Amino acid sequence: MALRSIANHPLKPIGLGCMNLSHAYGQPPSESQASRLLLSAIDMGVDHFDTAALYGFGNNEKLVGQVLKPHRQNIFLASKCGMTGVDGKRVIDGRPATLRATLEQSLQNLQTDVIDLYYLHRWDKSIPIEDSVGELARMVEEGKIKAIGLSEVSGKTLRKAHQIHPIAAVQTEYSLWTRNPEISVLDTCRELGTAFVAFSPLARGFLSGQVADKNQLIDGDIRKGMPRFQDEHMQKNLALLTELELLSKQLQCSKAQLSLAWLLHQGEHIIPIPGTTQLSHLTENISASQIRLNTEQLALLANVFAPSKISGSRYPTATQVEIDTEEF
């Protein structure tokens, strides 16, 4: 599959989301295991690594910075501000001074002089998007970041931000299981020349078929509190995997590979960043870019996972109000 791009920087079709090496899914791997996975990704040709100030409350940036510093000139490095850990709690703060302080810490953690893509992780709705993006634009002018991204925003908010400074990428959850970007922001990105970076492209493990029971999730795993992973919704959603399983067997690939391939076929401006702690899954995910699907196969999957057939919202109510993404 042909290369894709962010801010005119050519990239492989699939990048690596680094979050779960330090954050969100319970006990993370050891530092040595996480380091081995990052270096293996380099060996496999991965050139796009995505982290954030929030992940591990700075520890993920430190890990990525330490391990990938010798390879810095050969990779595209993305991080995020606007949502950090303060006194052990997640805090959304889009004030320019806060974004500036986060950037300086991120540069130190990542052991670099410049970040290729710096996202506003969440739009702080108490601060005009123009103010937050204006500060990010000053960072570009100073040469501390090369491009600006936004995360979990609507098409309307993207347009407002884009008037202040070109937005190179929007990062939002997108998968067969979560089709919200198709409402507006996916087309808005295409129109504006903005890349679309799909996080959780495997639906937080659901599409791989390896998360069938909330009780198998350990303490500290954010999925334990997500509606779709609760028993009453999970049982309905599991039925959707039957067709995915059948088609994956026909194509001699895994359900995860098929899911990523479907996503890549939705637009040349889409770049999935699946995360993993397993080397075998890393290899599997990267090779998904070699799978070709025809119109009939794409339509079948789109119909099986139509938004009306998905049971449960993707976030708990408290988290849902924090995002700006259009919702079905």
Residue with tokens 């999957």: 301
Residue 148, phi-psi category: left (phi > 0), alpha (psi -120 to 50), beta (remainder): beta
Residue 254 C-beta-side C-alpha neighbours within 13 Å = 20
User: Which active-site residues does the annotation give?
Assistant: 55
Please give the single-letter amino acid code of residue 86. Answer: V
Distance CA 44, CA 65 (A): 19
Token duo for residue 137: 């634009």
Collapsing DSSP states into helix, strand and coil, what is residue 208?
helix
Distance CA 103, CA 143 (A): 12
> Can you state the percent helix, strand and coil of the chain, rounding each to 5?
50, 15, 35
Q: Catalogue the E-assigned strands of the chain.
A: 4-6, 9-11, 16-17, 48-50, 76-81, 83-86, 89-92, 117-120, 148-151, 167-173, 195-199, 270-272
